[in-house]
């Protein structure tokens, strides 16, 4: 070991003792690990943002893509709903729209793993409202209060029969007959039109979320 390094170590040891040196080493290791974690989070957020932006570019020529980018609905633009893997978004709809393009993954409930339909709703509700929901769509269908179709508001949960039984699929209503959801294996989180015949004939109802005291939450 070079003499100057040895003298530096000797000086530190004399001042802090071996326990102090050990503590400094541990603190430095934790700090470096924290830097690595922050770097990984930044990379993950960048990857998610690229995935979402790519999805929006690929779909902008179809009707739903045009709807998302329309000036009539600026609140749905991706600039207002940035990817946010660690924090919370202001709205349940905004949180879900922030992960557009994320792959479908059965049992998934994070942007890292991918989402299934209930996983997306659970993720968005917890991040935006601090609300923990049950794990499957049939259980979620008992949360909050029932809402008539003609009284739907952005942020309400909409349910469909896609597997031969009621409430087998769930999404988040956006307004104007649109909803965001994680559809199926091989697909990605995307926006659909409830007025399309497939969804129209499978619609099972909607729920508006409430907290444990029954107070209706601000959704949007």
Distance CA 123, CA 52 (A): 17
More confident: 201 or 81: 201
**Homologous superfamily of domain range 41-208:** endopeptidase domain like (from Nostoc punctiforme) (3.90.1720.10)
The 8 Å CB, 24+ separation contacts for 57-60 are 59/190
Asked if 11 and 21 touch (Cβ cutoff 8 Å), the reply is no
More confident: 12 or 189: 189
Which of the residues are catalytic? 117, 169, 181
| pLDDT the model gives residue 159 | 98
Using alpha carbons only, what angle is made at residue 176 by residues 66 and 125, rounded to the nearest 5 degrees? 95
More confident: 61 or 141: 141
Closest CA to 207 of 131, 155, 164: 155
Question: Across the chain, how many H-helices and E-strands are there?
Answer: 6, 8
Asked if 169 and 162 touch (Cβ cutoff 8 Å), the reply is yes
More confident: 212 or 52: 212
Average pLDDT, rounded, for the chain: 75
| pLDDT the model gives residue 92 | 93
Q: Give per-residue pLDDT as tens, 123-142.
A: 999 999 999 999 999 999 99
Closest CA to 12 of 2, 1, 25: 25
How confident is residue 214, by pLDDT bands cut at 50, 70 and 90? confident
Q: Give per-residue pLDDT as tens, 179-199.
A: 999 999 999 999 999 999 999
pTM of the model as a whole: 0.67
Q: Give per-residue pLDDT as tens, 67-123.
A: 555 533 333 334 343 444 444 457 899 899 989 999 999 999 999 999 999 999 999
Domain boundaries, the chain: 41-208
Residue 38 has pLDDT above 60, yes or no: no
């Amino acid at each position: 070991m070079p003499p100057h390094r040895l003298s530096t170590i000797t000086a530190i040891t004399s001042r802090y003792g071996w326990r102090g040196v050990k503590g400094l080493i541990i603190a430095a290791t934790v700090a470096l690990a924290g830097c690595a974690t922050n770097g990984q989070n930044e990379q993950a957020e960048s990857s998610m943002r690229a995935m979402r932006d790519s999805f929006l570019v690929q779909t902008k020529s179809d009707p739903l893509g045009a709807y998302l980018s329309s000036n009539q609905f600026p609140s749905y633009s991706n600039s207002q709903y940035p990817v946010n893997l660690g924090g919370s978004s202001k709205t349940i709809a905004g949180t879900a729209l922030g992960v557009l393009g994320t792959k479908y993954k059965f049992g998934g409930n994070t942007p890292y793993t991918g989402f299934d339909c209930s996983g997306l709703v659970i993720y968005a509700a917890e991040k935006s409202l601090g609300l923990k929901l049950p794990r499957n769509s049939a259980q979620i269908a008992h949360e909050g209060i029932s809402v008539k179709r003609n009284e739907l508001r952005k942020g309400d949960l909409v349910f469909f029969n896609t597997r031969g039984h009621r409430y087998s699929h769930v999404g988040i209503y956006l307004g104007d007959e649109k909803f965001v959801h994680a559809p199926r294996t091989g697909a990605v989180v995307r926006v659909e039109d409830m007025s399309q015949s497939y969804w129209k004939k499978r619609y099972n109802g909607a729920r508006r979320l409430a907290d444990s005291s029954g107070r209706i939450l601000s959704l949007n």
